[in-house]
Chains A and B, each alone.
Chain A
Amino acid sequence: MTIKKGLVAKGFLALATAAVLFSSAVSAKTLRYANQGDLKSLDPYTLNETTTNAHLANVYEGLVKRDRNLNVVPALAERWETPEPTRWRFYLRKGVKFQNGEDFTADDVIFSADRLRAPGSNHTTRVPKDAKFVKIDDHTVDVILGVPNPILLNQWEYWMIVSKKWAEANGSAAPTPANATTPSYISLNANGTGPFKIESHQPGVKTVFKPNAGWWSKPEHNLDEIIFTPIASDATRVAALLSGEVDLIEPVPIQDIQRVNSASNVQVLAGPELRTIYLGMDQTRDELLESSVKGKNPFKDKRVREAFYKAIDIETIKTRVMRGLSTPSALMIAPELFPLSKDFVRPKFDPEGAKKLLADAGYPNGFEVGFDCPNDRYVNDGPICQAIVGMLARVGIKLNALIQPKAQYFAKVLKPNGFKTSFYLLGWTPNTLDSHNVLYDIIGCRDDEKSARGETNLGGYCNKQLDGLTDQILGETDATKRNAMIKQAFQIAYDDYAYIPLHQQALAWGVSKTLKMAQRADNAITFGWIMKD
Chain B
Amino acid sequence: MTIPPPSAGPTSSGDSLWSRIMAHDLTYLFFRSPLTVVAAVLSVAIILAALMAPWLASMDPFDPAQVFLADANIPPVWQDGGDPRFVLGTDDQGRDLYSAILYGMRVSLVIGLSGVALAATIGITLGLIAGYVGGRVDAVIMRVADVQLTFPAILIALLVNGVVQALSKGTSRETWAFGVLILSIGLSFWVQYARTIRGSTLIEKNKDYIHAARLVGQPTPLILLRHLLPNVIGPVLVILTINLGLAIITEATLSFLGVGLPPTQPSLGTLISIGNKYLFSGDWWIVTFPGLTLAIFVLSINLIGDWLRDALNPRLQ
Contacts and interface: CB of A to CB of B under 8 A. Distances in A.
Interface of A: 233-235, 238-239, 242, 253, 255-256, 258-259, 290, 313, 316-317, 319-321, 370, 382-383, 386-387, 389-394, 399-403, 412, 420
B68 interface: yes
Interface in B51-71: 63-65, 67-70
A393 B281 contact: no
A239 B72 contact: no
A320 B64 contact: no
A259 B72 CA distance: 19
Given A383-B93, A401-B262, A390 B69 contact: yes
A393 B63 contact: yes
A390 B281 contact: no
A235 B264 contact: no
A255 B170 contact: no
Nearest to A404: B173
A393 B172 contact: no
Contacts of B280: 235, 238-239, 242, 255-256, 259
A392 B65 CA distance: 8
B82 interface: no
A319 B281 CA distance: 15
A313 B71 CA distance: 13
Contacts of A391: 69
| Best-buried of B94, B170, B262, B276 by chain A (most CB within 10 Å) | B170
Contact of A316 (B70, B175, B263, B276): B70
A400 B72 contact: no
Given A400-B175, A402-B171, 9 more contacts: A235-B280, A255-B280, A259-B280, A320-B72, A320-B92, A386-B263, A401-B172, A401-B264, A412-B170
A390 B64 contact: yes
A255 to B, nearest CB: 4
Nearest to B262: A403
Contacts of A402: 170-173
A317 B68 CA distance: 11
Contacts of B67: 390
A386 B283 contact: no
| Best-buried of A317, A382, A390, A412 by chain B (most CB within 10 Å) | A390
Instruction: Report, as a range, how many residues of chain B touch the other chain.
Output: 20 to 34
Contact of A255 (B94, B171, B172, B278): B278
Contacts of B63: 393
A186 to B, nearest CB: 24
A320 B94 contact: yes
A401 B173 CA distance: 8
A272 to B, nearest CB: 21
Task: Tell me what chain A mostly uses at the interface: helix, strand, loop, or mixed.
Answer: helix
B279 interface: yes
B234 to A, nearest CB: 44
| Best-buried of A317, A321, A420 by chain B (most CB within 10 Å) | A321
A387 B279 CA distance: 21
Nearest to A412: B170
23 contacts: A235-B277, A235-B280, A238-B280, A239-B280, A242-B280, A255-B277, A256-B280, A259-B281, A290-B170, A313-B69, A316-B69, A320-B69, A383-B92, A386-B93, A390-B64, A390-B65, A390-B67, A390-B69, A400-B174, A402-B171, A402-B173, A412-B170, A420-B170
A369 to B, nearest CB: 11
B65 A393 contact: yes
Contact of A321 (B72, B171, B173): B72
A296 B83 CA distance: 45
Contacts of A412: 169-170
B36 interface: no
B73 A320 contact: yes
B68 A390 contact: yes
B31 to A, nearest CB: 45
Given A253-B277, A382-B263, A401-B262, A390 B93 contact: yes
Interface in B244-303: 262-264, 276-283
Contacts of B175: 400
B182 to A, nearest CB: 21
Nearest to B169: A412
Contacts of B173: 402-403
A320 B169 CA distance: 32
A387 B276 contact: no
Contacts of B169: 412
A234 B280 CA distance: 10
Contacts of B278: 235, 255
Nearest to A392: B64
Nearest to B72: A320
A321 B69 contact: yes
A68 B278 CA distance: 33
Nearest to A396: B65
Which are the 9 A-B pairs with shortest beta-carbon distances? A393-B64, A393-B65, A255-B281, A390-B64, A400-B172, A320-B72, A256-B280, A259-B280, A387-B69
Interface string B209-235: 000000000000000000000000000
A513 B34 CA distance: 56
Nearest to A372: B170
A256 B276 CA distance: 12
Contacts of B93: 383, 386-387, 390
B67 to A, nearest CB: 5
Contacts of B281: 253, 255-256, 258-259
A263 to B, nearest CB: 10
Nearest to A232: B258
Contacts of B262: 401, 403
B277 to A, nearest CB: 5
Contacts of B94: 320, 390
B150 to A, nearest CB: 24
A421 to B, nearest CB: 9
Contact of B69 (A259, A290, A317, A399): A317
A239 B77 CA distance: 29
Contacts of B276: 233, 235
Contacts of B277: 233-235, 253, 255
B283 to A, nearest CB: 7
Contacts of B282: 259
B291 to A, nearest CB: 14
B69 A370 contact: no
A235 B276 CA distance: 6
A394 to B, nearest CB: 5
A403 B263 contact: yes
